Every structure is written in C-alpha cells, then in structure tokens.
Amino acid sequence: NALRGGGVEGDFLPTLAAMGEGMSELQNGSLRGLSYRPGVLDINIRVSEASALDAFRDAIAASDRYEATIQSANTRDDHVDGRLQVRLRGN
C-alpha cells in the first residue's frame, strides 16, 4: 500500500496525524479540504479568528518532525478562511 509504504509517499499518514494534533487547537473551526503531494500536505480550514489559525499552525509545528506555514488567510464577516502547508522538516 503506497500510503503506508516507506519513503516520501509513506509520510502521508504520519503527516495527517500531525494535522490531527493541530485540529485539537481549533475551537469553532472546521476542516474545508486537504490536498497531498509527496512530502507536502495542504490544509484548508475555516476558523472564527486569525489567532485560531496561528494556534493551529503552532500545534503542528510543535512537532520536531514537521513545519507548518500559513499560505493565506482571508477574513470574511464572521470567520477566517486559511490555507496552511505542512512539510517534513528539511524538505
């Protein structure tokens, strides 16, 4: 199974698990979409305020294995739509 195999492709499930750890930081937030390519997970989320987006990024980046960056944050009337990118450190 390519999702559980070794190498870069085998990093999908651990990367997804790191994203799950960040989800625990989301209050009144929702996952809007995921996109994966070898070594990179793009996450689209909706949160109530920008600080929640920062907390989500920080929770993922707290792992020594992953780095997370906010690619975009668009403020709407009552929410923020954000896109983050999660990578293995060093990639």
- From residue 22, how far is each of 29, 30, 58, 79 by CA, in Å? 11, 12, 8, 18
CATH topology for 9-88 is Gyrase A; domain 2 (3.30.1360)
- From residue 49, how far is each of 9, 41, 54, 64, 88 by CA, in Å? 33, 22, 9, 26, 27
Give the closest residue to 55 by CA, choosing from 87, 76, 80, 75: 80
- Report the pLDDT value the prediction gives residue 4, as an integer from 0 to 100: 42
- pLDDT (tens digit per residue) in 34-82: 898 888 889 999 999 999 899 889 988 887 888 899 999 999 999 999 9
* Beta carbons of 24 and 70 less than 8 angstroms apart: no
Examine the pLDDT at 84 and tell me if it is beyond 70.
yes
- Report the pLDDT value the prediction gives residue 54, as an integer from 0 to 100: 92
pTM of the model: 0.75
- Report the pLDDT value the prediction gives residue 6, as an integer from 0 to 100: 45
